[in-house]
Chains A and B, each alone.
Chain A
Amino acid sequence: MSNSRFSRRGVLKTGFLASAGLALPTYLRAQEAGFTNAPGPSHVTLGFSVPLTGAYADEGADELRALQLAVEHLNGQGDGGMLNTFSSKALDGTGILGREVRYVSGDDQTKSDVARATAQSMIQKDGAIMITGGSSSGTAVAVQALCQEVGIVFMAGLTHANDTTGKDRKANGFRHFFNSYMSGAALAPILAAQYGKDRKAYHLTADYNWGYTTEEAIRSSTEAMGWETVNTVLTPLTQTDFSSYIAPVLNSGADILVLNHYGGNMVNSLTNAVQFGLRDAQANGKNFEIVVPLYSELMARGAGANIAGILGSQNWDWKLEDQLGAKYSGTNAFVQSFGAKYGFPPSQAAHTCYVQTLLYADAVTRAGSFAPCAVDEALADFEFDGMGNGPTLYRSADHQCFKDVLVVRGKENPENEFDLVEIVEVTPVEQVTYDPEHPQFAGGALGNCNNGA
């Protein structure tokens, strides 16, 4: 017979009461504040969900570096980076609304289900008030939907599909990065000028939402310029050897190959295309050309010499201010901070995540509240400058940023390992602006902002 003074029922009762007691302050605080994960007086937690493995791991690692730098700057450490150039002066390096900024991070593995689970854990277990990061439109759409459901702000990282601020747009989600439509609108005139209007294009497209919208955007923009699309082929996201897809291209009647691939996919497909001699080939009496609608310095580094001469588009480049002047102020401040800390220049993925974190902190500070609906109001039609892209608008109709777009080309003779991309032209924002209900973005609605709790 046991002499223990503890009974099963007693333990359960005590446990329940203790749990309820511990949870009460959080519940009351949330009720009082009226929104999910209302922070306490001392600190606020941000959630950084980035891919550290998989096809977009390079971008994810760079995003995390930039996000950590943003936290430092918000907390008054380091040289302040873009806080010194940002047109809004609400942030003063004392955290957000006087609370120290902390963060939790997780690997979304570039998988929508993992990204959703990672973000959910950050929200439920770690009390994250905002989620940012990510290098895939698939994960962005999944996490954005979750944040809308639970009443958390989602500041999208690198997501380029039209869907993110198109058919899948949500009131709690915001995108600073440009999109597929903008790539098409910026690239098509340059492609026509460089390669002529009588061209036949063959598209290889990553088989997920970003691939579809990018193919659609590039097709419609180039066809409007007079190009013909001879074939479009979907390739699995997990594909590493693209030889079976590349081999038929040369005899398809096409004289342009458009690789709607990103990250490791693009590095492998471009390498295969060069191995199969497409760069040196002629078709229809013209030099065969390859186009990569979206690429970055990180991908250029991965592709090595194969990237030379390839045209594409970018959201931002670390050389922007040096080459095109003070209109793009903030670029050098960010490059200086990032480069001094990590020893190399930041990628566009790093830039957009850093900017998004500062924009969130600024919106909260101007609104005087962490409530998602207050952030929504503060960011609605917010015009800002000094963040590296020139004058920028956060459009309230779809929560998409509008700014200049870069058309770039892989450098033929890079001077060093970081100087792999040259800026061909900056397409002004007016040329890439579209109606919120443009056919490529139709079918979605922001709905109402959700404070959760």
Chain B
Amino acid sequence: MDQIIVQVLNGLDKGSAYALIALGLTLIFGTLGVVNFAHGALFMLGSFCAVTFSRLLSFSHEVIDETRTDFLGNPLKVQVPYIQDWLGPDLAASIIQWSVPLSIVFAIPVMITIGLIIERGLIKHFYKRPHADQILVTFGLAIVLQEIIKYFFGANPIQTPAPPAFNGSLDFGIWLGFDPVTIMYPYWRMIYFFFSVVIIAGVFAFLQFTTFGMVVRAGMADRETVGLLGIDIDKRFTFMFGLAAAVAGIAGVMYAPIVAPNYHMGMDFLVLSFVVVVVGGMGSLPGAVAAGFLLGILESFASMPMIVQSFPGINQIIIYLVAIIILLTRPRGLMGRKGVMEE
């Protein structure tokens, strides 16, 4: 039983990332009708916003420490962050340790700007082109973005730890009546789950309860009629692209302490997220979220040692297997609407 609870927690955690990426993908597809294969790269860029912000905070000058030597026996060159000169060592250290959550403030404007540049500069030229063209151009864009990151940050994962206050694990089992240390779950992963729930709820609330959101939903349902009412729906859809980029970006920021950011991480998530979108139903926001969590939990269960040993390789194919079954039984996905992606 304890193993099942642990894998459910793991699945919710994995599902959080899938759901956030799939939510952004669905927003873009639902508003602009574009199949955005660069969305995983936006998640990766978000992770590197955390790395960049951490490096900005740690920007240093060199001080020679004559009392110590380096590995070659020369006087040791010590890097002292400027922030330490300005705020003192204790406060500076605390701020640097909290760089991941603080970098959300940095990532939101950066990711919205990147989203707007991508939409205005490239994707708008492909609105009336076939989906195959859109996939090719956005996939190419994803490769360009990851090569840019590789050029500046290298090919290797960069450790970006969570604040020390969130190191370690919560003894979750005690709350459920298990013995101590039966169900341990890392604090940061729990934070990631709750954070993603807040973001998803925020996006839904924005679309449901604001005038802007109402217009966007109306545009998603009938773009031409909304246009006839004198509303510049294109401008709002462009903003939605920026919003989707920001959602992917902050999902990436918060994921940085879970898996060290690397230039390829967007591709690792992209294919799975597309499966999530298709299983959830093209254009369905609740479907994307539900499918994200569902497939995350299934993937976690399939990775349990007893399952892997009974069915070798099942952990690698479970998502695709379930996707096939769902699409055979419900061709429009879990919550797909008639007419979307159908000629």
State how many angstroms separate the Cβ of A243 from the closest Cβ of chain B: 5
Contact at B155–A57, with CB atoms within 8 Å?
A: yes
Contact at A304–B155, with CB atoms within 8 Å?
A: no
Contact at B157–A264, with CB atoms within 8 Å?
A: yes
Contact at A248–B156, with CB atoms within 8 Å?
A: no
Which residues 93-145 in A have Cβ within 8 Å of B in the complex?
none
Contact of B260 among A252, A267, A336, A345 (CB under 8 A): A267
Contact at B181–A282, with CB atoms within 8 Å?
A: yes
Contact of A275 among B3, B169, B308 (CB under 8 A): B169
Contact at B71–A339, with CB atoms within 8 Å?
A: yes
Contact at A233–B308, with CB atoms within 8 Å?
A: yes
Contact at A57–B181, with CB atoms within 8 Å?
A: no
Say yes or no: is A418 at the interface (Cβ < 8 Å to chain B).
yes
Q: Which of B33-41, B132-140, B184-192, B286-294 contacts its partner?
A: B184-192
- Chain A neighbourhood of B7, CB < 8 A: 244, 247
A236's nearest neighbour on chain B, judged by CB, is B316
Say yes or no: is B143 at the interface (Cβ < 8 Å to chain A).
no
Which residues 41-89 in A have Cβ within 8 Å of B in the complex?
52-54, 57-58
Say yes or no: is A335 at the interface (Cβ < 8 Å to chain B).
yes
Number of A-B contacts (CB under 8 A): 111
Contact at B155–A53, with CB atoms within 8 Å?
A: yes
A381 to B82, CA, bound (A): 57
- Chain B neighbourhood of A433, CB < 8 A: none
Say yes or no: is B168 at the interface (Cβ < 8 Å to chain A).
yes
Say yes or no: is A245 at the interface (Cβ < 8 Å to chain B).
yes
- Chain B neighbourhood of A336, CB < 8 A: 72
Which residues 1-35 in B have Cβ within 8 Å of A in the complex?
2-3, 6-7, 9-10, 13-14
Residue among A252, A271, A275 with the most chain B CB within 10 A?
A: A275
Contact at A277–B186, with CB atoms within 8 Å?
A: yes
A277's nearest neighbour on chain B, judged by CB, is B169
Contact at A244–B168, with CB atoms within 8 Å?
A: no
Contact at B184–A277, with CB atoms within 8 Å?
A: yes
Contact at B184–A241, with CB atoms within 8 Å?
A: no
Give a binary string over A316-339; 1 marks a CB under 8 Å from any B CB, 0 the rest: 001000000000000000011001
Contact at A251–B13, with CB atoms within 8 Å?
A: no
A252 to B6, CA, bound (A): 13
- Chain A neighbourhood of B76, CB < 8 A: 416
A277 to B14, CA, bound (A): 19
Say yes or no: is A193 at the interface (Cβ < 8 Å to chain B).
no
State how many angstroms separate the Cβ of A288 from the closest Cβ of chain B: 9
Contact at A276–B186, with CB atoms within 8 Å?
A: yes
Contact at B156–A264, with CB atoms within 8 Å?
A: yes
Say yes or no: is A28 at the interface (Cβ < 8 Å to chain B).
no
A264's nearest neighbour on chain B, judged by CB, is B157
A318 to B300, CA, bound (A): 41
Contact at A244–B10, with CB atoms within 8 Å?
A: yes
Contact at B10–A339, with CB atoms within 8 Å?
A: no
Residue among B150, B156, B308 with the most chain A CB within 10 A?
A: B156
Say yes or no: is A350 at the interface (Cβ < 8 Å to chain B).
no
A265 to B155, CA, bound (A): 14
Contact at A418–B71, with CB atoms within 8 Å?
A: yes
State how many angstroms separate the Cβ of A107 from the closest Cβ of chain B: 9
- Chain B neighbourhood of A277, CB < 8 A: 168-169, 181, 184, 186
A298's nearest neighbour on chain B, judged by CB, is B156
Say yes or no: is B182 at the interface (Cβ < 8 Å to chain A).
yes
- Chain B neighbourhood of A57, CB < 8 A: 154-156
Contact at A248–B157, with CB atoms within 8 Å?
A: no
Contact at A241–B258, with CB atoms within 8 Å?
A: yes
A305's nearest neighbour on chain B, judged by CB, is B161
Contact at A276–B259, with CB atoms within 8 Å?
A: no
State how many angstroms separate the Cβ of B191 from the closest Cβ of chain A: 12
Given contacts A53-B155, A277-B168, contact A240 B10 (CB under 8 A): no
Given contacts A267-B260, A282-B181, contact A234 B71 (CB under 8 A): no
Which residues 334-373 in A have Cβ within 8 Å of B in the complex?
335-336, 339-340, 344-345
Contact of B309 among A233, A241, A243 (CB under 8 A): A233
A53's nearest neighbour on chain B, judged by CB, is B155
State how many angstroms separate the Cβ of B314 from the closest Cβ of chain A: 12
Say yes or no: is A18 at the interface (Cβ < 8 Å to chain B).
no
Contact at B157–A267, with CB atoms within 8 Å?
A: yes
Given contacts A52-B155, A54-B155, A276-B169, contact A243 B13 (CB under 8 A): yes
Contact of B305 among A233, A276, A415 (CB under 8 A): A233
Contact at B260–A268, with CB atoms within 8 Å?
A: yes
Contact of B157 among A268, A339, A344, A345 (CB under 8 A): A268
A281 to B168, CA, bound (A): 11
Given contacts A236-B316, A276-B169, contact A58 B156 (CB under 8 A): yes
A319's nearest neighbour on chain B, judged by CB, is B71
A112 to B295, CA, bound (A): 31
Contact at B182–A268, with CB atoms within 8 Å?
A: no
A240 to B181, CA, bound (A): 25
Contact at B189–A271, with CB atoms within 8 Å?
A: no
Residue among B68, B169, B188, B303 with the most chain A CB within 10 A?
A: B303
Say yes or no: is A38 at the interface (Cβ < 8 Å to chain B).
no
Say yes or no: is A257 at the interface (Cβ < 8 Å to chain B).
no
Which residues 292-320 in A have Cβ within 8 Å of B in the complex?
302-304, 318
Give a binary string over B315-329; 1 marks a CB under 8 Å from any A CB, 0 the rest: 110000000000000
Give a binary string over B147-190; 1 marks a CB under 8 Å from any A CB, 0 the rest: 00010001111010100000111000000000001101110110
- Chain B neighbourhood of A304, CB < 8 A: 159, 161
Say yes or no: is A231 at the interface (Cβ < 8 Å to chain B).
yes
A58's nearest neighbour on chain B, judged by CB, is B156
- Chain B neighbourhood of A415, CB < 8 A: 68
Contact at A345–B189, with CB atoms within 8 Å?
A: no
Say yes or no: is A375 at the interface (Cβ < 8 Å to chain B).
no
A418 to B7, CA, bound (A): 37
A236 to B303, CA, bound (A): 11
A57 to B189, CA, bound (A): 27
A52's nearest neighbour on chain B, judged by CB, is B155
- Chain B neighbourhood of A244, CB < 8 A: 7, 10, 14, 299-300, 303-304, 315
Contact at B157–A302, with CB atoms within 8 Å?
A: yes
Say yes or no: is A32 at the interface (Cβ < 8 Å to chain B).
no
State how many angstroms separate the Cβ of B179 from the closest Cβ of chain A: 10
State how many angstroms separate the Cβ of B41 from the closest Cβ of chain A: 16
Say yes or no: is B268 at the interface (Cβ < 8 Å to chain A).
yes
A268 to B261, CA, bound (A): 11
Say yes or no: is B262 at the interface (Cβ < 8 Å to chain A).
yes
Say yes or no: is B220 at the interface (Cβ < 8 Å to chain A).
no
Contact of B70 among A53, A54, A240, A416 (CB under 8 A): A416
Say yes or no: is A435 at the interface (Cβ < 8 Å to chain B).
no
B187's nearest neighbour on chain A, judged by CB, is A275
Say yes or no: is B265 at the interface (Cβ < 8 Å to chain A).
yes
A244-B14, A250-B184, A339-B71 known; 19 other A-B pairs, CB under 8 Å?
A: A53-B155, A57-B155, A234-B308, A240-B262, A240-B265, A241-B259, A244-B299, A244-B304, A247-B10, A250-B181, A251-B3, A264-B157, A275-B258, A277-B184, A281-B181, A302-B156, A302-B159, A335-B71, A340-B72
- 13 example contacts (A-B, Cβ-Cβ < 8 A) are as follows A234-B312, A241-B259, A244-B10, A244-B14, A244-B299, A247-B6, A268-B157, A268-B260, A275-B167, A281-B184, A302-B156, A303-B159, A415-B68
